[in-house]
């Protein structure tokens, strides 16, 4: 599969995030890019078809499916970048509604998108979900997010058996990505704790064997590979820079 010739849907595109980075890269290669975004105006990228929709509900997914079929008839590649921890909280202060919301954003949306794949993709289609090293690393303050991403790993492995041989589904699992949102979180943490932002940044990088900050654009190559290779399905590609889990 040559990705330049394909119709591609990127979900969860946010300013300064992983979705925007891959969108910018792929939009330079072809004009068949569709995106979903809840916070990006159509004026920002006027040449890209943008649909604002909530992918955590069946109603929203049905609207998305109808839009895809109307706009382009079908897509060849789905890159799902919907996700986020939403907040860092002590587990004893996490309400059931917040826990369910995190699962909905990170896992339910992926389930619903994967389930409609046979209806919006031809044979040979590919799905790529953005996972996270949090799926494998326990966290005191982001436990709901880790649970959701661990569930996404299981979802990818299970859906691969359901969708094969017609559609391939894989995941890319990065370590801490210095997105615009994460940089703003670090600035706030620096203000709240009095710890210099440089020290907080170094603390994140120290968990990796490769000691440089991972930015959204660094993931483009691996996402493209996961979307185009015909050699695997149901696999999670590690993009953790040798992260050491502790």
What distances in angstroms separate CA 151 from CA 8, 97, 158, one per listed residue? Answer: 25, 18, 10
Closest Cα to residue 142, out of 203, 186, 91? 91
Residue recorded with tokens 């990170």: 106
> ∠ CA 60-66-69 to the nearest 5 degrees?
140
Contacts with 194 (C-beta within 8 Å, 6 or more apart), sequence order: none
Q: What is the pLDDT of residues 121-140, one digit of tens each?
A: 999 999 999 999 999 998 88
CATH of 3-177+215-239, one of 3.30.200.20, 1.20.58.110, 3.30.70.660, 3.40.50.720: 3.40.50.720
Q: What is the pLDDT of residues 82-92, one digit of tens each?
A: 999 999 899 99
The domain locations on the chain are 3-177+215-239, 178-213
Q: What is the pLDDT of residues 13-58, one digit of tens each?
A: 999 999 999 999 998 877 789 999 987 666 677 788 999 999 999 9
Compute the mean pLDDT over every residue in the chain, rounded to the nearest whole number. 93
Out of 36-40, 92-96, 239-243, least confident range: 36-40
Inter-residue contact 128 to 226 (CB < 8 Å): yes
The answer on pLDDT for 118 being more than 80 is yes
Which stretch of DSSP H or E encloses residue 22?
A: helix 18-27
Structure tokens at 31: 């004009």
Closest Cα to residue 206, out of 180, 154, 243, 156? 243
Alpha carbon 130 to chain centroid, angstroms: 3
Q: What is the DSSP letter of 59?
A: H
């Amino acid at each position: 599969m040559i990705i330049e010739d394909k119709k591609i849907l990127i979900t969860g595109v946010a300013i300064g995030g992983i979705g925007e980075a891959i969108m910018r890269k792929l939009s330079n290669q072809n004009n068949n890019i569709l995106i979903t975004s809840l916070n990006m105006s159509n004026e920002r990228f006027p040449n890209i078809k943008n649909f604002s929709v909530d992918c955590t509900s069946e109603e929203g997914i049905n609207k998305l499916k109808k839009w895809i079929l109307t706009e382009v008839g079908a897509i060849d590649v789905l890159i799902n970048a919907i996700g986020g921890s939403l907040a860092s909280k002590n587990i004893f202060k996490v309400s059931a509604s917040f826990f369910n919301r995190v699962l909905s954003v990170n896992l339910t949306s992926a389930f619903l998108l994967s389930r409609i794949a046979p209806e919006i993709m031809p044979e040979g289609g590919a799905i790529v979900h953005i996972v996270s090293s949090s799926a494998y690393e326990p966290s005191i303050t982001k436990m709901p997010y880790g649970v959701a991403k661990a569930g996404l790993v299981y979802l990818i492995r299970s859906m691969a058996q359901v969708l094969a041989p017609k559609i391939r589904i894989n995941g890319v699992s990065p370590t801490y990505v210095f997105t615009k949102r994460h940089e703003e979180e670090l600035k706030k943490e620096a203000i709240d704790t009095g710890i210099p932002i440089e020290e907080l940044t170094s603390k994140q990088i120290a968990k990796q064997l490769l000691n440089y900050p991972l930015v959204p654009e660094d993931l483009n190559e691996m996402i493209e590979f996961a979307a185009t290779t015909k050699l695997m399905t149901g696999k999670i590609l590690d993009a953790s820079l040798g992260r050491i889990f502790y």
